[in-house]
Amino acid sequence: MKQLLTTLFLLLILNGYSQKSIIGFSSENTNKQLQLEKSFEENLNATNLDKWMQKMAAEPHWVGTEFGEENAKWIKSQFESWGYDTKIETYQILFPYPTERVLELTGPTQYKAKLTAVPVEGDPFTAQGDALLPSYNAFSTDGDVEAELVFVNYGIPKDYEELEKLGISVKGKIVIAKYQGSWRGIKPKLAAEKGAIGCIIYSDPEDDGYGQGDVYPKGAYKNKTGVQRGSVMDMPTYPGDVLTPGYAATKDAKRLDRKDAPTITKIPVLPISYEDALPLLSALDGNVAPESWRGGLPITYHIGPGPATVHLKLTFDWKLVPAHNVIATLKGTEFPDQWVMRGNHHDAWVHGANDPISGLVALMEEARAIGELAKKGQKPKRTLVFCAWDAEEPGLIGSTEWVEDHKKELQEKVVAYINTDGNGRGFLGAGGSHSLQAMVSEVAGTVVDPQTKVSVKDRRIAANMVNGGDDSFELYALGSGSDYTPFIQHAGIAALNLGFGGENGGGEYHTIYDTYPHYKRFKDPEFGYGVALANTAGLITLRLANADIIPLNFSQWHSTISNYLTEIIDETESMRKEVLKHNKMVSQNSYTLAADPTKKVKAPTKKELIPYIDFSPLQNELVTLNETIAAFEKINTASLSKKSIEELNKRLMKAEQMLTSEKGLPRRPWFKHQIYAPGFYTGYGVKTLPGVREAIEQENWVEAQEQIKILTNTFKNFNTYIKDITNDLK
Ligand SMILES: [Zn+2]
């Protein structure tokens, strides 16, 4: 109750006793909306989240399991009981199940990896034995290889640069990489490009084991047997079903031959625990690993290659399994053909109490509370579509197939897609389309943080400032890693991703330890942040659903995009300086003179100079765009007729689509958005203005200049679009 009063108090302060209108609403409708939001908040109940998590995380439920299907059916029945028109849409997707996993050290000593996490006291879910999914990386290819081992740190591009300096090649070898530092799928992708024939990924205790805190069951961190499962599909090329790129995996869809599927890895890859990694790493010799590469194991980290040799054998049962998406609709009273979408996945690697159930129960509680209001006659003006996706874990498959299936209709009807996934205690993280930033910031200013009772926005800003940031509320840019990807990056639909975290550290991610007891002890024991998430996402959903004018703000968008361009220009300059310095050091023999003469280090050679790039077309276009946006924002919307507003909304809904190009990004046409994409060599990590940025990072100067042209055209089209709207409203 205290929390509610505080919320109301904050609302009153922030809105000047509701005289000031909220973004997108007239002052009259602002009051109505705030009343509705108050009823919604009062309706949220933490007990439901707790109860539903216990039910849905009771057994393992990866895609294709019986329990997963039971969950989907139960979610559907819940939505129906809340008044939603609900269906299950099923796709037939390729999903590999491991049938043989062998990893052994064959020389100079012998060790057979156990590849099994142990049950722990106080957590009966970890003792379900064969019901638990064996630890593996989905979409590793089958393979049977034996070779010398090389330690490659995190296995990211800069680690291979370091290896090259040391004169070490991974060609024909098996690499062992630490889990963090990049999205896991990048490790086998890069290793294969460098000529390795196998890849092992292990969780170093320094990253999420005893180096961080007590291990499970005493604490939240990874014990010596815990293994992170996860997909290694080449998602930066395209996510979703590997056999049906760009179209839906329906029963009768034409499918690629598995050997032709470009997103399955080229070499076998297996994740292991630090207990299993220790004998392998101990058996390495050769160069001692650079200081920054050393982890938390009680050994001297060597790189090899060898003398350790390992044998890795993996076989999978490659079969089609059904992926069940639950789609629940509450029809809008005024604009039924304008949809506000809200989604979270329901499949997990094992029990998935945190990932994804903690986010799913928040979504369900929002839907229930909104359903209650609708039953009392307070229905949304626009249609709400709630989705519980299947097969997110193996590669965003359920949502991708659904978006590919309905792409045309979605591009006509969807106002925005709001995503959540695992949730915990701490600070609001919000990412997405920057035209939505102002509205999200306004909502975050009204939601109360359950621990400190200030707004979740103030708490976020406090954390930013303490960590060296400034005092503004900003959305981060979306890379990949959850179900927003097909919406924003493929269909060009404005999207958000929301979640709380930062005070819920642990090592349970994708292991058998992500269970209800673990969640209750270490994540969000009272589900206070579950309710805060339902509150934040629910208010955003309701504002988008009821706004008189769709709440987009392009001046904040413009300043963010301009910053991205400045960043790229600055980075190009520092690359230039570095190359000049490097070449000078090569001429002066500095590398050799600075090295220990008793150690073998390959002297580097001169690098190609960085040419001057002409960014002016982009800079000029951003100036023009700034003027256009200023003119658009000067329109007095209060004087517009109902018909003009309807017309305006129809066009605002599609504004984000103007930022895509049908041709897509170089070498990955599935990714159409020109502002945000997951990095080709970072995976989940975002690359903003990706066409230009990645060409420069890869030192492909011809492509950089081409991509500047393409992006300039994107800005030009966007400019024309906003200008036309403005002119038509005058
Ligand atoms: Zn997840």
Residue 669 corresponds to which amino acid?
P
- Average of pLDDT values for 388-412? 98
Q: In this structure, what DSSP letter does residue 489 have?
A: I
Cα 421 to ligand 1 centre (Å): 5
Cα 398 to ligand 1 centre (Å): 12
Task: Find all residues with CB under 8 Å of 60, minimum gap 6, and list them.
Answer: 67, 128, 131, 132, 133, 348, 349, 350, 351
Cα 498 to ligand 1 centre (Å): 12
524-556 confidence digits (pLDDT tens): 999 999 999 999 999 999 999 999 999 999 999
> In which band, very low, low, confident or very high, does the pLDDT at 13 lie, cut at 50, 70 and 90?
very low
> In which band, very low, low, confident or very high, does the pLDDT at 11 lie, cut at 50, 70 and 90?
very low
pLDDT at 165: 87
> In which band, very low, low, confident or very high, does the pLDDT at 18 lie, cut at 50, 70 and 90?
very low
Predicted structure pTM score: 0.95
Closest CA to 668 of 236, 266, 232: 236
pLDDT at 682: 76
Cα 394 to ligand 1 centre (Å): 10
Residue 464 corresponds to which amino acid?
N
Count other Cβ atoms within 10 Å, centred on residue 570: 10
> In this structure, are strands 230-231 and 137-138 parallel, antiparallel, or unpaired?
parallel
pLDDT at 6: 45
Cα 215 to ligand 1 centre (Å): 22
Closest CA to 199 of 94, 272, 293, 279: 272
Cα 396 to ligand 1 centre (Å): 9
- Average of pLDDT values for 276-290? 97
- Average of pLDDT values for 621-629? 98
Cα 210 to ligand 1 centre (Å): 24
DSSP string across 45-93: -HHHHHHHHHHHTSS---TT-HHHHHHHHHHHHHHHHTT-EEEEEEEEE
State in Å, rounded, how far the first CA of the chain is from the last one: 48
Contact 310, 104 (CB under 8 A): yes
Q: Is the pLDDT of residue 202 over 90?
A: yes
Give the mean pLDDT of the chain: 95
Closest CA to 422 of 332, 370, 343, 352: 352
Which residues sit with Cβ closer than 5 angstroms to ligand 1, an ion? 355-356, 421
586-622 confidence digits (pLDDT tens): 999 999 899 888 877 778 899 999 999 999 999 999 9
> In which band, very low, low, confident or very high, does the pLDDT at 10 lie, cut at 50, 70 and 90?
very low
553-573 confidence digits (pLDDT tens): 999 999 999 999 999 999 999
Count other Cβ atoms within 10 Å, centred on residue 472: 11
Q: Is the pLDDT of residue 179 over 80?
A: yes
Helices 616-633 and 701-729, axial angle in degrees (round to 10) = 20
Contact 442, 504 (CB under 8 A): no
pLDDT at 9: 45
- Average of pLDDT values for 412-434? 98
Cα 429 to ligand 1 centre (Å): 15
Bridge partner list, 496: 418, 432
Cα 13 to ligand 1 centre (Å): 36
Cα 347 to ligand 1 centre (Å): 8
Q: Is the pLDDT of residue 667 over 80?
A: yes
Cα 337 to ligand 1 centre (Å): 29
pLDDT at 8: 45
pLDDT at 5: 43
Cα 57 to ligand 1 centre (Å): 13
Q: Is 403 helix (H, G, I), strand (E, B) or coil?
A: helix
